[in-house]
Structure 1
Amino acid sequence: MMKIYFVGIKGVGMAGLAVIAQEQGFEVSGSDVADEFITDKILRDRKITIDIGFDKIISPRTDLVIYTAAHNGKDNPQVKQATDLKIKVMSYGKAIAYFIRSKKVIAVSGTHGKTTTTAMIVKTLVDAGIDTGYLIGAASVCGLKNSAHWGKSDYFVVEADEYTADPQDVKSRAKFLYLNPYISIVLSTEYDHPDIYPNEKSYFNVYKKFVKRTDPKGLAIIRADEKFSQRLIKSAKSKVKIRPIFFQKPFIGLRLKFFGQHNLFNATVAAYVCRFLGVNTKVIKKSLNNFQGLQRRLELRFDGKIDPDRKVKIYDDYAHHPTEIQNALEALRSQYNRNRIICVFQSHTVSRTQALLSDFGKSFSEANKVLVAPIFLSAREKTSDFTGEDLAREISKHHKDTIYLDNFSKIIDFLQKEVKDNDVVVIMGAGDIYKIISNLTI
């Protein structure tokens, strides 16, 4: 039996890949930090052994070590140890492609919407009776037993990430460039990851390479109304069949249970994917119209009275790019036009915050009050002179009711005192800001 060790196993993607490896009959274990993650329960339920810290000596009988960039990549001590022992070592991005190389891959890429769209495609295929394989970047999805599954069908649906597989390795490439999609999907090419891509052109070019990897017998679904859309379509149309999708032209008959034009667009993409795969249109509409959403995507975490005089709603959202913030707040405003909306935002990485600072400043117009938390630093950003206070200063140029609070305790205390009856609070960011919700006794 093949023995696989995952360095950084608690990451959502790594935990999912560990589940898939276990389903294939491999012996799986791994290591990570002691902090409790949303994936801990998944791994415990699977009886997967987790070593705390990265000091445990790896058995020389290990066949494969898979690592994540989140814990120093190839410079992680366990990864170095495995290399010295001549154990095969593979980045998470490369490992995904390795595991699913025998499948017809449906690869969902784009700056925004990857997780939701992937989940929608999977749920629709499952409802159509197709035992598809999948790897979804969320700890849980309503209507699915797990966020990862090997599946008996030829299909495998996966999020296709444009970020590099290992920032410490100069030879590393974007994770999705290890994939060979049967269906490639580009939801957006809006600039992101300035720590890897120095400008818009370099970011766009990696998507060109991705789409060109699509199977000529398959399909490329591309959003057609963005800055670089037509150039992307033109560069790929001689290689593969293209299906352009427009943000404001939804699939006919969709009436989603959750709100937001961006979610309607994601559902439209999912509908066209499933139709291409031969799923009945009635099944597609029924499945998508009954889709319940997933964790940390405008997830309603609390709805009720916090005392006799105050009833509030608390949402949790993963938005960490200016456009995502704007989309999420517009979606909330469409539902709560007369309510006060308080947005608690934690930006994710200094590099992104600085590069997109002006856009961040303009993204909170639909909130009545903005609370800015300290920036969540990446593993490569030990310290920074640029802080959440600088971000709050930029936001305040466009939104006067903006406050910077330098720790979670102050944010919780502020909300406990300031929230009013019928307020809507949204906790937003890709870092660890979601942790305040369980402690939020407003």
Structure 2
Amino acid sequence: MTVPEQLERAHLIGIGGAGMSGIARILLARDAHVSGSDAKDSRAFLTLRAQGARIEIGQRAENLDGPTAVVVSTAIKDTNPELAAARERGIPVLHRAQALALLMEGHRVACIAGTHGKTSTTSMLTVALQHCRLDPSFAIGGDLNESGANAHHGEGGIFVAEADESDGSFLTYSPSVAVVTNVEPDHLDHHGTPEAYVAVFTEFVKRVQPGGLLIVCGDDEAANALAERAEGIRVRRYGRTVTGEHDARVLEYRATETGGTVRIALDGEEITVPVAVPGEHMALNAVAALLAGIELGAPVDGLAEGLGAFGGVRRRFEFKGRAGDVRVYDDYAHHPTEVAAQLRAVRHAAGTGRVIVVFQPHLYSRTKTFAAEFAEALALADEVVVLDVYGAREQPQPGVTGALIADRIAGAGVHYESAFDRVVPLAADLVKPGDLLVTMGAGDVTQLGPEILAELDRRAGA
């Protein structure tokens, strides 16, 4: 497949990011000339450079070598020297979503949206379609454990993409199949109000191509309301509460330590779908992926087998290792609903052992808005270590620290630790044989799992 003319020589600012590196992978597979820059080196660069990308560390105007377009994300500020130089030289500037939309052209497109679960659902659908040998192109906000990749240029004529609502950029896409897993106010630093956040999903549904399919979780009130308002498209719901003729009704979910099975009623038949990752929320994601795969022409049996073989996504309850009789996992959950859902799944996976969570709040605005809800969710663990806030794109706010959450947690052992370098020995002190420890959050807390394992091994050998 040819490269869109605008992207024949693309320069990606922040090329190491999850979204940007995925676009670069697809462009390189289509033989485009790709250059890019980032503030620091990244493991993603090894593959991109091997495929022919020219990547500079540090962002300077001279990094622009005659590109046909400069691609940016919302995180790139107007003061960025490369962005400023592109505008001065009249080089077209595209948002990441606009570039991805260009790459989708000529494909049958499935977009997965929702406050929670979109990365996992997109990944499940991708792996299930691959299992059916349909070779979809895909762009996901995380790395598949099967391939280690977050994007791929396929030959199957299908494009599966995670649709990010955080900055409203998913309104660039016009899918023929859209999934909305749930709608719960988030990213209010961008959208401003819960009402504005919900409204952007309404606009997204309007982007579905006429006659296309919208798939929503009928158990989620706001997602179900989207389906009620949809016009000119077909709708299928999934969940425990749905009763429509074309809905997928969940009859039973059975959990195991490593996953589970979900039994559904669909089109007059009962279907059992194995799920290789734990948690009923993941089982619901699998049902959404099944419905999308059916719409894309894949056989039910093949999709079910693919879902059963799904090995997960990096940072989605990712097993990091074992030290003695202690298991350590890492998870990306950074919203109260995600934290609660994942800890319920962790509780089952822990068996008779205790659950220890090392949690790092993400964004000052989210921490301030949802401090009480985070505390309630984290109380599902036996011991909680709360770190300070990972600010990411935000500046610190007076009085907004991890203590805002820790002080509200009841029913669990609580430890607020503001010093990052003291978390590893503290976590190692807390765990006992048989425990399951999970590091959780969207920031650099992910670094701590291997360090905790190393500390536990060191103590065992001392």
Same fold per superposition (TM over 0.5): yes
Residues 164-192 of structure 1: CA deviation (Å, up to 9, x unaligned): 1xxxxxxxxx1110000110110010111
Residue 308 of structure 1 aligns with which residue?
none
**Structure 2 counterpart of 1:289, which letter?**
G
Residue correspondence of structure 1 range 189-338 to structure 2 within 5 A: 189-236=183-230, 238-246=231-239, 249=250, 250=262, 251=264, 252-305=271-324, 311-338=325-352
Per the alignment, do residues 229 and 272 of structure 1 end up closer, same or farther by CA in structure 2, a change over 3 Å counting? same
Residues 405-431 of structure 1: CA deviation (Å, up to 9, x unaligned): 112211011123332111111000011
Residues 175-211 of structure 1: CA deviation (Å, up to 9, x unaligned): 1100001101100101111112222221111111101
1:386 corresponds to 2:379? no
The 8 Å contact of residues 223 and 247 in structure 1, kept in 2 or not, is answered as no
Per the alignment, do residues 190 and 21 of structure 1 end up closer, same or farther by CA in structure 2, a change over 3 Å counting? same
Instruction: Measure how far apart 1:22 and its partner are.
Output: 0.9
**Structure 2 counterpart of 1:378, which letter?**
A
Residues 241-265 of structure 1: CA deviation (Å, up to 9, x unaligned): 0001115715421122221001100
The 8 Å contact of residues 247 and 262 in structure 1, kept in 2 or not, is answered as no
2: distance between equivalents of 1:330 and 1:211?
Answer: 31
1:402 corresponds to 2:406? no
Instruction: Measure how far apart 1:117 and its partner are.
Output: 0.7
Residue 244 of structure 1 aligns to a residue whose secondary structure is strand
1:160 corresponds to 2:163? yes
Per the alignment, do residues 230 and 258 of structure 1 end up closer, same or farther by CA in structure 2, a change over 3 Å counting? closer
Instruction: Measure how far apart 1:144 and its partner are.
Output: 3.3
1:425 corresponds to 2:437? yes
Instruction: Measure how far apart 1:38 and its partner are.
Output: 4.7
Query: Which deviates the most, 193-202 or 428-437?
Result: 193-202
Per the alignment, do residues 400 and 316 of structure 1 end up closer, same or farther by CA in structure 2, a change over 3 Å counting? closer
The 8 Å contact of residues 34 and 52 in structure 2, kept in 1 or not, is answered as no
1: distance between equivalents of 2:156 and 2:79?
Answer: 37
- The count of corresponding residues between Structure 1 and Structure 2 is 422
Residue 414 of structure 1 aligns to a residue whose secondary structure is helix
Residue 113 of structure 1 aligns with which residue?
117
The 8 Å contact of residues 136 and 158 in structure 1, kept in 2 or not, is answered as yes
Residue correspondence of structure 1 range 55-94 to structure 2 within 5 A: 55-59=60-64, 61-72=66-77, 74-94=78-98
Unaligned runs of 5+ in 1: 165-173, 306-310
Runs of 4+ in 1 over 4 A off after TM superposition: none
Instruction: Measure how far apart 1:57 and its partner are.
Output: 1.2
Instruction: Measure how far apart 1:231 and its partner are.
Output: 2.4
Query: Which deviates the most, 354-363 or 241-250?
Result: 241-250
Query: Which deviates the most, 20-29 or 382-391?
Result: 382-391
Residue 267 of structure 2 aligns with which residue?
none
1: distance between equivalents of 2:182 and 2:373?
Answer: 16
2: distance between equivalents of 1:222 and 1:285?
Answer: 19
Unaligned runs of 5+ in 2: 242-249, 251-261, 265-270, 457-462
1: distance between equivalents of 2:64 and 2:340?
Answer: 48
The 8 Å contact of residues 352 and 434 in structure 2, kept in 1 or not, is answered as no
Percent of counterpart pairs with the same letter?
Answer: 30
1: distance between equivalents of 2:348 and 2:430?
Answer: 23
**Structure 2 counterpart of 1:412, which letter?**
V
2: distance between equivalents of 1:431 and 1:71?
Answer: 18
Residue 367 of structure 2 aligns to a residue whose secondary structure is helix
Per the alignment, do residues 215 and 64 of structure 1 end up closer, same or farther by CA in structure 2, a change over 3 Å counting? same
**Structure 1 counterpart of 2:30, which letter?**
Q
Instruction: Measure how far apart 1:143 and its partner are.
Output: 2.9
2: distance between equivalents of 1:422 and 1:56?
Answer: 54
Residue 17 of structure 1 aligns with which residue?
23
